[in-house]
Each structure stands twice: as structure tokens, then as C-alpha cells.
Chain A
Amino acid sequence: MDMNEIKEIFFQECEEQLAELESGLLKLNDGDRDPETVNAVFRAVHSIKGGAGAFGLDDLVSFAHVFETTLDCVRSNKLEPTQDVLKVMLKSADVLADLVTASRDGGGVDASRSRGLVKELEALAHGELPSSSGHDAPKPAAKAAPAAAPAAKAELLKPSDDSGFQPIPFSFDGFGEDDEPAVEGSLYEVTFKPRRELYSKGNEAALLLRDLSRLGEMSINCDTDALPTLDKMDPEASYFSWKISIRTTRSEDDIRAVFEFAEWDCDLEVKFAEEASSNEELPMVPVPFDLSILDDSSAGEDERTSERGASEETVAAALSAAETASNVSRAARVAEKKESAAASAAAQNNAAAAAAGAGQTIRVDLDRVDRLINLVGELVINQAMLSQSVVENDATGTSAVNMGLEELQQLTREIQDSVMAIRAQPVKPVFQRMSRIVREVADMVGKSIRLVTEGENTEVDKTVIDKIAEPLTHMIRNAVDHGIESPEKREAAGKDPEGTIKLTAKHRSGRILIELADDGAGINRERVRQKAIDNDIIAADANLSDDEIDNLIFMAGFSTADKISDISGRGVGMDVVKRSIQALGGRISISSRPGYGSTFTMSLPLTLAVLDGMVVTVAGQTLVVPLTAIVETLQPEASAIHSFGANQRLISIRNSFCPLVDVGRVLNYRATQANPVEGVALLVESEGGGQRALMVDAIQGQRQVVIKSLEANYTHVPGIAAATILGDGRVALILDVDAVVAASRGQSMKPEMSLAATG
């Protein structure tokens, strides 16, 4: 594993930590005061800082450090996590995310923004903590480096060396001689009981004790009571705890900082004990703690050190036993030592996983999953080919073969479902990203808005998740910018000045439904109508229902924003949103109540890899029409077909007239329109609720097909969504129903412009 791979792991973990951080902060924002939430938030920042330190990402380390310091004040109840405080913290989380991205991809972060936040964070930490301002001043270099400690021993030594601190041999005569006369060496009692995890993560109790010894004069007492007999001893367990008395000029925080990396894996107690004389039960023996103890695992030296280091024989024996115990586990970790950085990354990962209490997961390269999905796709096709050839070659069909085939079919389907489930992911990350957008945009336009999310654990295929982020971002911006009114207007209307945007995800009949609801003013139908008339989208005397007016906002070139702001009006309207949703095989609709807000509903397929399709024949070609688009199929009768003008034909269905679209003609398969009576009409739902009857020659049946991209080796074909491979091994095209319907309306079948290009 080389450095870049390790770094990659770190950045992946950063993503998780950032998500954890944000969700924790949001929970706090919602009034959650569980100390575990605060801890989780703190841990997230801390882990990022630690990893960043190991990779020498100084910007990230110093910002994370300040952030962490402030969070620590919250953790120790010195700072009340009020809304104002959390606002700063959420912004800091955003900047931290930016810094992580910048560290990964290169490029910079708006320095003024992070600097401003650093000031705010420091002010928070200090404002509430006047007494501790002396030692609480940020010391990024000194504090960040221990974070990297488990990574390399050499680095471990640096921080204390760099800080210029010299241990002062304790002596009563020494009082008053120091540079800092106000601070005298105070006595602390430290109880340190490592848990098994401490060792399994590559930490050493002895290392920590050595670090502690640098802070001042100390005496160590090892508690060996828990030590079992040799035959019952588990070499990986932790049996010892230590009682340390240390006299130091440093603060309690500094003592705790020594255990910074181990604090989740041990029971630590640091107590301030006033006077040396009052501690008679713990005789103060100045111990020159030999640093060589840790340089290598030479047992002889260890023993020598421990003998020298303890005042009682039993303690000496216990310590040497401790060394032996840790030597055992040390031996087991020889391989790991070579990749100590990797080990530390793994340790952090463990900590994160343990903290989240998540189920067992593995991290898999997406390419591998894609390959598996492709292979299963092949399997499905092959299975269909096999079934077809068995039916063709053996019309009678022996029951054994048929049964086998049936079982194979069932198995294939199950394998397919399971493989698809691998790619399924909760929509949570996307939803979380939206909360940042709400914050930023609301800040920009001076509104106060809260985002409520529901069903964020609803799972969808990863590709779908990746692709909904952009249209969703745009819609959220819209909702914040002109969906929700200004606080003054809201108050005047008798509403809560703080607006609410609700983002919901749920499963509904094999699709995912994503709803975005705001409690704003709703659509101003008069203005929309006027705008549509001004832009020549509708005629001035057009008679439209409320729903139709609402749906006008999806028309190309439509924007209700009067002035072009930073947030919207960049030439990207809801039409592009709609098209990108449609490109995903989804649909979007809007419902609005004036004065009460608007709700956008997106219905999306769960996966982009397979599709339930109607296999049809058009002009000798086999085509697949997505089943979700089809409302019903019917055999037109001659009496139901009506000519309309020069080329148009309408079909009457239950007393309403629906335009007929000859698919063969639209796709240029034939020069003239086919006779509808000889074909089958597929009634499809089109944009804005209108219906079209697509004429095809015959229906072959329904089938689940594996979607194959046309763009991979070719290019986008107007009217065609993708390709698939049928049971006979031939390629069939999947119809892009909306494009065909649009073409029948006279719109050109040009490839759609992508949201990314214009957003």
C-alpha cells in the first residue's frame, strides 16, 4: 500500500467524518443535548485533524484545531450550544469540508472566510472562558502533532521537543526561581486504565507514560490486581492500570493531551492534588524515566528501566510483566509497524465504526461492483437466451429441463436483486448536502430557514443518488430564494418568521418518491401567467387550469425571478431540472397552494441498471418501451381514428381525443405513417399530464431488460434512451418516450443540454 492509497483512505474517511459532524451539529441544533452527540461531533473533527496531521496538511490541521478547541468547550459544558454558537459551528463544518476537498483536489479555499471563522471560533472559546484563556490559546503545532503520534515514533518526540519545554526537577528550593513565578508545579493524580482496544490500535501504555514523564516529575504505581494466572492470561487483553502522581507546571489539559489519542480506549482520570506533603500514601520518588525503554522492544532494557522506575519490588515486577504483555502484542503487530500510518488510519476507522455503532460493512471499489452488475446483466441475458432456444428447439419440452430453467430464472432474478442492493445507498448524504445549501443561500438572501428531512435512510442506487443531487440543489435554491418569503412578509402574513423546507424520501411501488415542500407563499399564478404570455409561451387569452399554470414553470426559458440574483436566474430554469429528472427516467410534478407553499414531487427509478419494459415491434425492429411510461394499451378501431388537419390523427378514448404518434415515423423507420388500425396504441402519460397514443405494430410482451448505455461507444440518439440486449442476443433500442412525445409536438429532437453545462 503506498502513501497515495493511504491518503485516499483518509479522504474517504473524512467524507464519513464530515457527514457525522454535520448530522451531529444538526441534531444539536434541534435541541439534542445528548453528550454522546457532542462527543461524536468532537470525535469527527478530532479524527480529521489527526489524519491531516499525519499527512502534513497544515491548513486543515490548524483550522480543525481551532474548531476542536471550541467544540471541547461545548463538550466540557463551558460553552452552551445555542443556535448562534451552532450557526458558527455549522459554517465551520462547511469550511472544514472545503478544506478537505481542497487538500484532496488541490486548489484553495477562500482564506478570508476561514480566517473569519477562526476568529469567531476563538471568540466563542474565549468569551465563555475568561479564566482559561491563558493556556487555552491555540497552539496548533504543538497540539496537532500528537495527533499524528501513533503514526510514527520519531514524530512523537517532536512536539514536546519543539515546544521548548524542559522538565524541571522538582525541589522545594525551586519555587520562585521560574520564569513564570505565578505558576508553580502542581501535583496531579492520574489514573490510567487502558482497555484492550488501546493495544489493538497500536497504542502503548508505556509510550503514553513516557510522554507523561516529560511533563514533570512523576511516580508510577501499577495496579496488578486484575492480572490472572498465567494459564488464564489472554495475550491481547489489558490487565493493568496505573496510578501516577505527577508534579508539573503544565495544566490539566496538557496532561490530558498526552492521552489524546487513547482517550476513547481507556479510563482516564486526572485529579488536581494540592500539596506534595498531603500525599503520603504515594511517596514521591523522582524517577528519571528512561526514554530508551521505548526505542525498541529489547526486553532486557525494559526490565532494567522498570526496576529503576519503581520504588517497590512488586511494582517493578508488575511493570516488567506489563512490558512482557505488551511485547506479546507488539510481536503480533510487527507487520503492522512497517505500515504504521496505515495502522493508524485503520485504528481511526475502527474508532469511527465503533462510535457510530454501525453494522459490519466493507469498502469496495465501485468498479468491482459495476463489473459484478454487468456480469449479472450478462447472466440475465444468457438465461433469457437459453430459455428461448429451449422453447424453440424443443416445443414439447421435457419437464426436467423446464423445471431447471424455471429455477435458474428465479435464481437469476434473486442474484440480480441482491447485486442491485449492493449499490443501494441511503439518500442521506445528498440530503445532508442540501442542508448546507439551505444555510448558505438563506444567509445570502437574509432569510431564516430550517430544513427538515425525512426518510433519509431510504435506499436508492448510487448512480441515481449521484444524479439527483444537482436538480435537487437547484430546486432547493429556488425554494429558498423565491419560494419562501422574507421574515417580515412572513410575520405580516401571520406565519413563523422562520421558514421551513421539508425534504422527504420514500419508496412507492418500485420507485423512489422525493418530495420537496416549502411553506412559502406558493406560486403566484397571476405573475406566472403574465410571464408566460410575455415570453410567448402561451397565448394571452389561453384558458388554463391552476395545475396547468403551475406547470408552466417547467417550460423552457421561464423564470419567475424578477431580478437576476446570485442564486438563481443564471439561465437555468426548472425546465432543465425537469429534463435532468427525465433523463434519469423520472418524473416531476408540482402542487401549490397560494399562501401555504409549494410541493415538488419527483418519482425516480430505484436503479438505472434494469428496467421493466414492454417489448414491441415497429417496422420490423424490436423496441423496448419503459413500462412506467405506459398508462394502458389498446387496439384502435377504425371508428375511433379521426383525421385532424393535414397530417394529424387523433384517437378517441372514452370521449377524449388524444394525438396519435407513429413511432416508426418519428424514428425514420418508414417514410409514411402506418395504418393505426393494423397496430397497437400505447397510451403514455406525457409532460403536464397530457396523453399521447404511441402507435407500434405489435406487442411481444413484457420483460425486464438490462440497460446498456449508447453513449459509451456511440453517442446520444434523439428519441432513444438506451439500448439493451434481448434473449436472442440482438440489440434492441429503448424508446425515450418523452422525447418522442416532444417530437410529435413539433419540438426538435436535439440532444438535451445538460444541467452541468449551464448550472
Chain B
Amino acid sequence: MSYAVKNLVPGSKELIAFRISDQEFCVNIMSVREIRGWTQATPLPHAPAYVMGLINLRGAVLPIVDLSARLGMKDAEPTARHVIIVAQMKTKVVGLLVEAVSDILTITDENIQPVPEVSSDLERQYARGILAIDKRMICMIELDALFPDTESEVA
């Protein structure tokens, strides 16, 4: 957690970094409501493959999205060590299944490198920038771009 800084420099932002397979991603901490352990989800009929089902989040019904599958990688096989990042997207709250949360980063815009030109539409759609930190490469993703309109996207 070497990059966690208490007092934010103006213009800087905090990100939560997490791991899926052998890749690292991060999202803006402002959209993260909480992080919790994996529990068995109730599958939903007629749902896309990356929608794992519903869990009970203190009385609210929370849909769980396998972020690995959503990013076009292989389907996750959740274990007790997997975590769910509860994220707010506009009015809806969605749980994102990831392997592990790795870091909280405080960065300024200068730390963000543009996304290299790649052929895949999917990567272009969600990737908002690349961070190079300690020889690690962390991809900054935009959740709203991943689920632009939860309504039509999931249905």
C-alpha cells in the first residue's frame, strides 16, 4: 500500500486496483461502495453468461457480474478467496467478481498513459488508460462504459 496517501493532492484521484487472472485493473474508488467475500449466487434465467446471478446484500438483491467474463477473458471459477467489489453505476448497484483486490492507488492525471492502439473493440471500449507502477501494468477501466446502460446491456 505504498501509494496510499491520506491527504489527496488537488487533481489527484484514488483508484482501487484488483487482479483478474494474471492482469491488474483499477477503477475509481468513488464508484466503489464496499468490498466483500464471495457467496454463492442464485442464477438468473435468460441472463448473459457473465451475469452470475443474485446475492443478498443486507436485504438488497445484488446482481453479480463476472468481470473476467465481461472483459472477454475466461469465466471465473469463484472460490472463497474471490472478492466482490460492490460498485455504484448510476442508479444501480452491481457486484463485480474479481480474484483479489491488490492496492489502493493515488495518482494524478500525469500518471495515466493513453491506451495503445489495439485491435479489439472490447478493450477499447472499457480501457481509459494505462498506469505503470513498479514495473506493473495496471489497466484503468471505466465501469459506465462497460455497462453503458445496465438495462439494455444486461437484458
Instruction: Please list the residues of chain A having a beta carbon within 8 angstroms of any beta carbon in chain B.
Output: 374, 377-378, 381, 621-622, 667-669, 708-710, 712-720, 723, 725, 729-733, 749, 751
Contacts and interface: CB of A to CB of B under 8 A. Distances in A.
B56 A725 contact: yes
Contacts of A708: 59-61
B45 A719 contact: yes
Contacts of B62: 713
Interface residues of B, number: 25
Nearest to A714: B63
B132 interface: no
Contacts of B58: 378
Contacts of A733: 42, 44-45, 54
B45 A723 contact: no
Contacts of A725: 56, 59, 61
A709 to B, nearest CB: 7
A730 B92 CA distance: 20
Contacts, number: 77
Which 8 A-B residue pairs are closest in the complex by CB-CB distance?
A667-B45, A731-B54, A731-B42, A714-B63, A708-B61, A723-B61, A378-B59, A715-B155
A731 B56 contact: yes
A714 B150 contact: yes
A374 B60 CA distance: 9
Q: Which of B43, B45, B60, B62 has the most CB of A within 10 A?
A: B45
Contact of A714 (B40, B43, B92): B92
Nearest to B63: A714
A505 B154 CA distance: 40
A709 B61 contact: yes
B104 interface: no
B92 A712 contact: yes
Contacts of A732: 42
B44 A717 contact: yes
B59 to A, nearest CB: 5
B59 A712 contact: no
B130 interface: no
Contacts of B22: none
A374 B59 contact: yes
B151 to A, nearest CB: 5
23 contacts: A374-B59, A377-B59, A381-B59, A621-B42, A621-B43, A669-B45, A713-B92, A713-B150, A714-B63, A715-B150, A715-B151, A715-B154, A717-B46, A718-B45, A719-B45, A720-B44, A723-B61, A725-B56, A725-B59, A725-B61, A730-B42, A731-B42, A751-B155
B93 interface: yes
Interface string B33-77: 000000011111111000001111011111100000000000000
Contacts of A710: 54, 61
Contacts of A714: 44, 54, 61, 63, 92, 150, 154
Interface of B: 40-47, 53-56, 58-63, 92-94, 150-151, 154-155
B46 A719 contact: yes
Nearest to B155: A715
Given A378-B59, A381-B59, A725-B56, 15 more contacts: A374-B59, A668-B46, A709-B61, A712-B92, A713-B92, A713-B93, A715-B154, A715-B155, A717-B47, A718-B45, A723-B42, A723-B61, A730-B56, A731-B42, A731-B53
A723 B54 contact: yes
A571 B53 CA distance: 37
A407 B58 CA distance: 24
A730 B40 contact: yes
Contacts of A718: 45-46
Contacts of B93: 713
A723 B53 CA distance: 11
A248 B52 CA distance: 84
Contacts of B42: 621-622, 723, 730-733
B27 to A, nearest CB: 17
Nearest to A725: B56
Contacts of A717: 44-47
A306 B140 CA distance: 81
A744 to B, nearest CB: 14
Contacts of A669: 43, 45
A733 B42 CA distance: 8
Q: Which of A713, A725, A732 has the most CB of B within 10 A?
A: A713
Contacts of A749: 46
Q: Which of B47, B54, B62, B93 has the most CB of A within 10 A?
A: B54
B24 to A, nearest CB: 27
Nearest to A381: B59
B118 to A, nearest CB: 30
Contacts of B40: 730
Q: Which of B46, B55, B59 has the most CB of A within 10 A?
A: B59
A367 to B, nearest CB: 15
Contacts of A378: 58-59
A697 to B, nearest CB: 15
B88 to A, nearest CB: 10
A621 B43 CA distance: 8
Q: Which of A669, A732, A733 has the most CB of B within 10 A?
A: A733
Contact of A713 (B53, B59, B60, B155): B60
A713 B45 contact: no
B80 to A, nearest CB: 16
A234 B98 CA distance: 72
B56 to A, nearest CB: 5
A26 B154 CA distance: 50
Nearest to A728: B56
B155 A716 contact: yes
Contact of A720 (B41, B45, B92): B45
A297 B68 CA distance: 75
Nearest to B55: A731
B63 A713 contact: yes
A716 B47 CA distance: 10
A378 B46 CA distance: 28
Q: Which of B40, B58, B60 has the most CB of A within 10 A?
A: B60
Contacts of A730: 40, 42, 56
A669 B150 CA distance: 23
Nearest to A666: B45
Contacts of B61: 708-710, 712-714, 723, 725, 731
Nearest to B44: A717
Contacts of A729: 56
Nearest to B62: A713
Nearest to B57: A713
A698 to B, nearest CB: 17
B66 to A, nearest CB: 15
Nearest to B93: A713
A715 B48 CA distance: 12
A399 B17 CA distance: 52
Contacts of A751: 155
A718 B150 CA distance: 16
Nearest to A374: B59
B126 to A, nearest CB: 20
B77 to A, nearest CB: 18
B99 to A, nearest CB: 23
A729 B46 CA distance: 23
Contacts of B41: 731
